[in-house]
Chain A
Amino acid sequence: MTNSYQREQFEQLVLPHMDAAYNLARWLVRNPHDAEDLAQEAMTRAIRFFSGFRGGDPRAWLLTIVRNSCFTWLGRNRAHDLAEFNEEAHSPGISEHVDQSSIQMPPNNPEIMAIAQSESLRVRRALEELPLIFREAVVMREIEEMSYKEIAAVTNVSIGTVMSRLARGRDRLRAILVESIRTNPEPMEEPIP
């Protein structure tokens, strides 16, 4: 394969997903500076490993590399996030079950109204607060609009696990939003840059 062919392939298949790569890194590490470094590092790795790309979904392939880079970084710099992640991921049974709270306490109408009217900044903070294991699933589903199969491929878990993580993640995210509105009802505004 010639260089120009490889380059063309890379530019057509992988480069269009650069925003997705940065977006995932940004939500995993939760700060723009490190996300820039990690997205760049992951893209460099993608270039290096491109000869090993055997077809399939290029976005899922790229995001797997991004996620690996970010998890390595988190392990070194935010060990707590990763420890919490591993605890959730390896507690048998729990991740497959739905939170008891959501069965006993379905969201009521005022809560649904509050969620519907939340301001962007509040939603962003709430998503940042969501534990890593749920955050990545929600980001890939709600922001990247990926299928369960794609999310399962990137996060290396079964489709059933993706489904239960999304269910729990959304429950938690709604709970965080409701709690945020209860404790701080003033509208949140973007700080003026």
Chain B
Amino acid sequence: MTCQESTRLLAGYFDSELDLVHSLEVEDHLRTCAACASTLEADRALRATIARSRLRFSAPPTVVRNVRTAVANAFPPEKSAPNRWAWNWSFAAIAAAFIFCAVLTWKLLPASSPNNSTSIADEAIADHIRALMPGHLSDVESTDQHTVKPWFDGKLDFAPPVENFTAQGFPLIGGRLDYLDQHPAAALVYQRRKHFISVFLLPATGEPDRAESQTTERGYNVISWTRGAMNYWLVSDLNPAELEELAKLLRGEQVGTK
């Protein structure tokens, strides 16, 4: 084994990550090479020093407390009320949450729009904006639907339909996992010139088909509908007419030539 090969494998040897054959080869080399042997010795000294320095930070008590509260809230116990205190606390929490939501609804939402879909639209917009932050747009970048589709396998309990519309001017640039209306959702990312479009797909088990509705909030256009037990939410800063074009493509409808 040359010194170069040994240097490449030395870390693996030091970390006991090499197979037996390579380990023996490195050991052989170490017997004759002072340079590699001293690197190994230096790594051992470094490891001992790091261990002695107690560099592991523990989660501060406030974090532990907040996370435990979050866990309790996220998985509330079913109906049974084992003792009075627990019942009182959960009642108080529910009451507080209800009041909070009521105030929020009253403060923030326009009176005319249906509350539920408005909040989902809001959530979809927030997800879309978050996705535009660096490195977040798509977990799997691909213009090939055959790459995007298998990527979702095993990550979701439904199979989202994935289609590429490059020919129609909406190239598929990737997909990611997201979360919408308390359900895991597939988010497909399409592009139109400089605009990104998030298409959220989530199962609508047992829901009847719903015709398209369109809103504009915070400068983002949102189109949504339900069809074939699947909810569609499109979010983009693209103009409504062109967003509608993509909606039609997704539904397999004819799109008029521009």
Residues of A within 8 A of B (CB): 2-4, 6-7, 10-11, 15, 18-19, 21-23, 26-27, 32, 35-36, 39-40, 43-44, 47-49, 51-52, 54, 71-72, 75-76, 82, 98, 102-103, 106-109, 111-113, 115-120, 123-124, 127, 141-144, 147-148, 159, 163-164, 166-167, 170, 173-174, 177
Contact = CB atoms under 8 A, between A and B. Distances in A.
B184 A49 contact: yes
Contact of A2 (B42, B68, B72, B78): B78
Nearest to A156: B139
B74 interface: yes
Contacts of A167: 7-8, 10-11
B156 to A, nearest CB: 7
24 contacts: A18-B59, A23-B57, A27-B57, A43-B67, A47-B71, A48-B179, A49-B179, A72-B134, A76-B134, A98-B8, A103-B4, A106-B38, A106-B39, A107-B42, A112-B41, A117-B49, A120-B55, A127-B50, A141-B15, A142-B47, A148-B17, A164-B11, A167-B11, A170-B46
Nearest to A165: B11
Contacts of A35: 57
Nearest to A43: B67
Contacts of B66: 40
Interface in B63-105: 63-64, 66-68, 70-72, 74-78
B222 to A, nearest CB: 22
A85 to B, nearest CB: 10
B70 A47 contact: yes
A170 B43 contact: yes
User: Chain A contact residues: over half helix, strand or loop, or mixed?
Assistant: helix
B73 to A, nearest CB: 9
Given A36-B62, A44-B70, A4 B48 contact: no
B36 interface: yes
Contact of B60 (A22, A54, A106, A173): A22
Interface string B1-21: 001100111111001010000
A27 B134 CA distance: 21
B53 A123 contact: yes
A54 B152 CA distance: 13
B30 to A, nearest CB: 12
Given A72-B136, A75-B133, A123-B50, A6 B75 contact: yes
A82 B63 contact: no
Nearest to A159: B17
Contacts of A44: 67, 70
A80 B231 CA distance: 40
Contacts of B58: 19, 22-23
Contacts of B133: 72, 75-76
B106 to A, nearest CB: 26
Given A47-B71, A174-B42, 9 more contacts: A22-B59, A22-B63, A23-B59, A52-B155, A106-B38, A115-B45, A124-B55, A163-B9, A166-B11
